[in-house]
């Protein structure tokens, strides 16, 4: 694959500007465009402040920061991206808006330019459905903050050139990212395989035997930096709800993706977490648990995480090894689902899922059915 010298980024929000910053830091000329020109100005100012703080903390030299800023340019129109080798879209998560943008980019960009969407929830194939040359279009799902987080999911959807995708994975790895090739499917790896971390925690909370603080404490005892409710409060209950509803719809409301009322109520009441001042665990509360109770909670959540990851393997989303790596890098999990699986064991995971299935309320009927991969036997990771 020829080196990518010039990068275009469309969308000057937090994600777009940080993607632009990453490529500028790695020696690329970058054109940043937004339909709102003042957004580009604000983004470049914010990048400047980020670089100044990095210099002040000794993370980069003043010369390197100045060189990075010099490689970042404001594009006043889409035509300014005409000679880019790669153009990445990071705009609003609306299918029609993205489709319109890429139709315009196909007219503007050279025939060899790669076109990429940073979507986290939409079908990559649907986004590019109307393009004439789909072989050069793919997904590049960065994680926030994009200039720091290592993981990039490289989303492939036929008829994109697999050779170009493979080359791009290699290239991104060479310039400091950990790129993982992923099949175009709902939620890709991280957003899909993370659902049980939140969802099963909400199922436990719904039963009323344990508090959100206790559930979080049980997962921290397993090495997780934050519990599920701490993460919901950090990101925002509204964001988590939107992701949960998107996944539920994508999987025809299968009970594995059930959207729990407690989460809906948090949003309805405005208790979004840190940004609203009140959330699931923003108050102080006793999280004391017996060791056996901690294990009960943790094993239940881990078993459902393993089952979802196994289902993703069944759907050929990615390999077990790549799923483990993505969950560690994308969500700072201490281990991937299959590493936990190796510790817990197939028999115990099957036993937990069977117990949960036998006691599931009507609205969760079928939630705990083991994935085909778990029914076949152990999974090598």
Q: Do 161 and 287 share a structural domain? A: no
Catalytic residue list contains 191: yes
Catalytic residue list contains 153: yes
**What is the chain's mean pLDDT, rounded?**
95
With cut-offs at 50, 70 and 90, classify the pLDDT of residue 1.
low
345 is a domain residue: yes
Catalytic residue list contains 268: no
How many whole angstroms separate alpha carbon 345 and alpha carbon 347? 6
Give the model's pLDDT for residue 163. Answer: 87
19 is a domain residue: yes
Give the model's pLDDT for residue 218. Answer: 97
Q: Do 207 and 173 share a structural domain? A: no
Crossing angle of helices 261-268/237-250, nearest 10°?
Answer: 140
Q: Do 126 and 108 share a structural domain? A: yes
Give the model's pLDDT for residue 160. Answer: 85
Q: What is the pLDDT of residues 325-358, one digit of tens each?
A: 999 999 999 999 999 999 999 999 999 999 999 9
Choice among 28, 106, 118, 120 that is catalytic: 120
Q: Do 340 and 198 share a structural domain? A: yes
Q: Do 204 and 151 share a structural domain? A: no
Average pLDDT over residues 360-370: 97
Choice among 18, 118, 185, 191 that is catalytic: 191
Query: Of the residues 150, 183, 216, which one is the last residue of a structural domain?
Result: 183
pLDDT of residue 377 exceeding 90, the answer is: no
Query: How many domains does the chain contain in total?
Result: 2
Q: Do 208 and 337 share a structural domain? A: yes
Burial class of 357 by CB neighbour count within 10 A (0 to 12, 13 to 18, 19+): middle
Choice among 106, 153, 299, 308 that is catalytic: 153
Q: What is the pLDDT of residues 34-80, one digit of tens each?
A: 999 999 999 999 999 999 999 999 999 999 999 999 999 999 999 99
With cut-offs at 50, 70 and 90, classify the pLDDT of residue 164.
confident
Q: What is the pLDDT of residues 285-300, one digit of tens each?
A: 888 999 999 999 999 9
Give the model's pLDDT for residue 381. Answer: 67
How many whole angstroms separate alpha carbon 62 and alpha carbon 300? 50
Q: What is the pLDDT of residues 13-28, one digit of tens each?
A: 999 999 999 999 999 9
381 is a domain residue: no
Q: Do 71 and 18 share a structural domain? A: yes
140 is a domain residue: yes
Q: List, in sequence order, every residue forming a beta bridge with 10; answer none if it has no partner.
A: 33, 89
Q: With helix as H, strand as E and coil as C, how does the chain read?
A: CCCCCEEEEECCCHHHHHHHHHHHHCCCEEEEECCCHHHHHHHHHHHHHHHHHHHHCCCCCHHHHHHHHHHEEECCCHHHHCCCCEEEECCCCCHHHHHHHHHHHHHHCCCCCEEEECCCCCCHHHHCCCCCCHHHEEEEEECCCCCCCCEEEEEECCCCCHHHHHHHHHHHHHCCCEEEEEECCCCCCHHHHCHHHHHHHHHHHHHCCCCHHHHHHHHHCCCCCCCHHHHHHHHCHHHHHHHHHHHHHHCCCCHHHCCCHHHHHHHHCCCCECCCCECCCCCCCCCCCCHHHHHHHHHHHHHHHHHHHHHHHHCCCCCHHHHHHHHHHHHCCCCCHHHHHHHHCHHHHHHHHHHHHHHCCHHHCCCCCCCHHHHHCCCCC
269 is a domain residue: yes
Give the CATH number of the domain where residue 249 resides: 1.10.1040.50
Query: Of the residues 138, 164, 183, which one is the last residue of a structural domain?
Result: 183
Q: Do 225 and 169 share a structural domain? A: no
Query: Of the residues 116, 151, 183, which one is the last residue of a structural domain?
Result: 183
**Residue 261, domain extent:** 191-376
Q: What is the pLDDT of residues 68-94, one digit of tens each?
A: 999 999 999 999 999 999 999 999 999
How many whole angstroms separate alpha carbon 116 and alpha carbon 16? 12
Give the model's pLDDT for residue 3. Answer: 76
1 is a domain residue: no
Average pLDDT over residues 303-312: 98
* CB 326 within 8 Å of CB 153: yes
pLDDT of residue 321 exceeding 70, the answer is: yes
Q: What is the pLDDT of residues 202-227, one digit of tens each?
A: 999 999 999 999 999 999 999 999 99
Q: Do 211 and 324 share a structural domain? A: yes
Q: Do 109 and 232 share a structural domain? A: no
User: Does the CA dihedral 53-57-59-60 come out positive or negative?
Assistant: positive
Give the CATH number of the domain where residue 133 resides: 3.40.50.720
Q: Do 311 and 235 share a structural domain? A: yes
98 is a domain residue: yes
Q: Do 261 and 159 share a structural domain? A: no
Choice among 28, 141, 147, 213 that is catalytic: 141
Average pLDDT over residues 105-114: 93
């Amino acid at each position: 694959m020829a080196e990518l010298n010039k990068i275009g980024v469309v969308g000057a929000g937090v994600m777009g500007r940080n993607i632009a910053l990453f490529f500028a830091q790695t020696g690329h000329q970058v054109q940043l465009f937004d339909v709102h020109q003042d957004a580009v100005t604000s983004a470049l100012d914010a990048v400047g402040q980020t670089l100044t703080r990095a210099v002040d903390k000794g993370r980069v030299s003043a010369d390197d920061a100045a060189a990075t800023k010099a490689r970042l340019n404001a594009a006043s129109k889409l035509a300014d991206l005409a000679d880019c080798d790669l153009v990445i879209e990071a705009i609003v998560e609306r299918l029609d808006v993205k489709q319109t943008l890429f139709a315009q980019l196909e007219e503007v960009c050279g025939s060899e330019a790669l076109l990429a969407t940073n979507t986290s929830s939409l079908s990559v194939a649907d986004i590019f459905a109307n393009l004439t040359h789909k072989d050069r279009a793919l997904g590049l799902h960065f994680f926030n903050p994009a200039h720091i987080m290592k993981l990039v999911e490289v989303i492939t959807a036929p008829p994109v050139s697999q050779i170009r995708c493979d080359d791009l994975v290699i290239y991104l790895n060479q310039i400091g990212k950990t790129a993982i090739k992923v099949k175009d499917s709902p939620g890709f790896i991280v957003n899909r395989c993370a659902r049980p971390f939140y969802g099963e925690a909400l199922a436990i909370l719904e039963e009323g035997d344990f508090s959100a603080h206790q559930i979080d404490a049980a997962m921290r005892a397993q090495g997780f930096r934050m519990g599920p409710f701490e993460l919901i409060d950090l990101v925002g209950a509204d964001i988590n709800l939107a992701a949960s509803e998107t996944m539920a719809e994508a999987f025809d409301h299968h009970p594995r993706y059930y959207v729990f009322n407690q989460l809906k109520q948090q949003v309805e009441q405005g208790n979004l977490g840190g940004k609203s001042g009140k959330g699931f665990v923003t108050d102080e509360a006793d999280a004391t648990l017996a060791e056996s109770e901690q294990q009960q909670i943790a094993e239940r959540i881990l078993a459902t995480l393993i089952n979802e990851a196994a289902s993703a393997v069944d759907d050929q989303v990615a390999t077990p090894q790549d799923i483990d790596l993505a969950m560690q890098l994308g969500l700072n999990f201490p281990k991937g689902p299959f590493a936990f699986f190796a510790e817990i064991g197939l028999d115990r995971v099957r036993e937990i899922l069977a117990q949960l299935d036998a006691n599931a309320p009507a609205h969760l009927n079928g939630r705990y059915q083991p994935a085909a991969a778990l029914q076949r036997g152990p999974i090598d990771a």
